[in-house]
Amino acid sequence: MNRIRLTAKDVKVGDSLPYAVYDALGMLMLREGQVIGSEKQLKNLLGQGMYVQRPERDRGIAIASASGKERQDASEVQVYRRMDEFRFRIRSLLRRGSEAKQAQPSIVQSISNMALELHDICVNYQDIAILAVHLFYHDDYLADHPLHAAIMSDILATRLDLAEDIRLSLVCAALTHDIGLVPVMGELSQSHELDEFHQRLVEQHPQTGVRMLHGLGVIDPLWLETVAQHHERMDGSGYPQGLTRDGIGQGARILMVADVYSALVRNRPYRSEVFKRNALDTILQLSNSSTLDRPAAKTLIKTIGLYPPGTLLKMKDERIAVSLARGASVYQPELMAIGNREGNPLPQVQPAQADDILHEISPSKYRGLYPQVERLLDPAQRKRLV
C-alpha cells in the first residue's frame, strides 16, 4: 500500500498539517494547512484512523521547515476557497441524510468532523470565516445557510466560553437545523406565498428534523434539543412548542440568533438581503423586546462589529471599499478600497479610513469585485495590488 497510518507522534495540536489526511476508506478528512485545535479532536481523529499518501507525506516533510508565517499567510486564501468545498459537502450530507431509510453513522461522523474543521477555522482565521458569511458567489440556501449559521454559532459559543463538547453539539445542530426542510426546499425557493400545506411543513420542520437525525443515528441529546428548539423564542412567540425563556436550552438560544442574522444578510426569493448594520439593529431590537436571547445578541454585535468582514462600503470619494478585518472597535474595521465608482476593480488597491464611510452597499450587486477580495487574501497577488 502506498499510504501510511499516522500516530500521535506524527501530528501535533496547533500545527498546520503539511499534507492532506484521509480516513480508512480513502475519503478526505483534513486538507493540507488545517490546524487540529485540541487534544480531544486529535484523539477522535486518530481513533477513526488517519492516513496520508506516502508521496504527500514526503513532500510535506520537505516543506515543513518553511516559516510558519509564510504558511499561515498562504493559507488565508485557501481557507476562503475551502468554504465552497464546505458548501458542497453540507449540501450533499443534508440531501443524503433526508433521503436515508436507516441509520447512517458515516453521515453523522462526517457532520461531526465538519463541525471540528469549522471550529479550527473560526479560531485561527476568524475574520476570514466572517468574511465568507457575507461574501458568497452563489444563492443556494441549502448549501449556504447551514454553513453560515454554523460559523456564527461557533464564534458566539467560543466568545461565550461554552465547554468544548457543548460547542461541538451546537455546531452540529447548526449544520443540520433545517434538514427537515430539505424535501420541500424546491417549493420554498419560489417567490410566491406558501399555501396552508407547505406552511404547516415549515412549522413542523424542527420536529421533522429531529426525527430524521434520530433515524440517522444521532443520539446526542443537546444536538437534537437544539434542532428542535431553534425556532422557539424567549417570549413564547416561536414554534413548534411555544417555549419560553426557561424552557429553551443554551444551544438553541445561540442558534436562534445565528439563524436569524445569517438569514437576514442573504438574498431570498421574496426579498433582497438586509444590510449588515440594519440586520444587527434588528437583532438588537428583537433581543430588547425579549424575542431573541439578549446575551447572545449583544455578543454577536460586539464580536463581528458594525461593519463585519465582507461588508462592502461606498466611501466619500465614491470608491468602493471592503471590510477585511475587525479593528480596535465595532466602528473601526480594517478597510481596503478595491473598486471605482462604477464598481470596476481598481488596478491598485489602497487602505481606506472608517471616517470616510458614506454607506453600506449590496454585495450581490458588485459580484465582479469578489475576485479582487480573493486576490487580497493571497500574499503573492496582494503584493502586486497594493
Residue 51: phi, psi to the nearest 5?
-125, 150
Rounded Cα distance between 232 and 136, Å, is: 28
The C-alpha angle with vertex 79 and arms to 131 and 128, in degrees rounded to 5, equals 20
Looking at 66, 91, 118, the residue that finishes a domain is 66
| 3-state secondary structure string across 89-116 | HHHHHHHHHHHCCCCCHHHHHHHHHHHH
Provide the whole-model pTM: 0.82
Domain tally for the chain? 3
Nearest CA-CA partner of 349 in 369, 325, 333: 369
Based on the fold, state whether residues 212 and 271 are members of the same structural domain.
yes
Alpha carbon of residue 349 to chain centroid? 27
Looking at 278, 304, 330, the residue that finishes a domain is 304
Based on the fold, state whether residues 143 and 201 are members of the same structural domain.
yes
Based on the fold, state whether residues 256 and 329 are members of the same structural domain.
no
Nearest CA-CA partner of 182 in 109, 96, 88: 96
Site of grid cell 479560531: 123
Looking at 14, 41, 66, the residue that finishes a domain is 66
Based on the fold, state whether residues 323 and 268 are members of the same structural domain.
no
Look at residue 192 in the predicted model and tell me its pLDDT.
64
Based on the fold, state whether residues 78 and 138 are members of the same structural domain.
yes
Q: Tell me if residue 182 falls in helix, strand or coil.
A: helix
Based on the fold, state whether residues 139 and 232 are members of the same structural domain.
yes
Based on the fold, state whether residues 195 and 54 are members of the same structural domain.
no
Look at residue 65 in the predicted model and tell me its pLDDT.
41
C-alpha cell at 192: 410566491
Based on the fold, state whether residues 288 and 318 are members of the same structural domain.
no
* Residue 212 belongs to domain with CATH number: 1.10.3210.10
Based on the fold, state whether residues 16 and 158 are members of the same structural domain.
no
Per-residue pLDDT of the chain (386 residues; tens, 9 = 90+): 467 888 888 888 877 788 888 877 777 777 777 778 778 778 888 888 888 876 655 544 443 444 444 444 446 888 888 888 899 899 999 999 999 999 999 999 999 999 999 998 999 899 999 999 998 767 788 889 999 999 999 999 999 999 999 999 999 999 999 999 998 887 776 666 777 887 888 899 999 999 999 999 999 999 999 999 999 999 999 999 999 999 999 999 999 999 999 999 988 767 788 999 999 999 999 999 999 999 999 999 999 999 999 999 999 999 999 999 998 888 999 999 999 999 999 999 999 999 999 999 998 889 899 999 988 888 777 777 77
Handedness of CA 149, 299, 232, 203 (dihedral sign): negative
Based on the fold, state whether residues 20 and 152 are members of the same structural domain.
no
Rounded Cα distance between 255 and 229, Å, is: 9
Rounded Cα distance between 92 and 88, Å, is: 6
Look at residue 279 in the predicted model and tell me its pLDDT.
96
Going from the C-alpha of 150 to that of each of 170, 214, 265, 282, the distances in angstroms are 8, 20, 15, 20
Based on the fold, state whether residues 298 and 323 are members of the same structural domain.
no
Q: DSSP of 20-69, one letter per residue? A: -EE-TTS-EEE-TT-B---HHHHHHHHHH--EEEHHHHHHHHHHTTS-HH
By residue range, what is the domain housing residue 48?
1-66
Based on the fold, state whether residues 222 and 344 are members of the same structural domain.
no
Look at residue 382 in the predicted model and tell me its pLDDT.
76
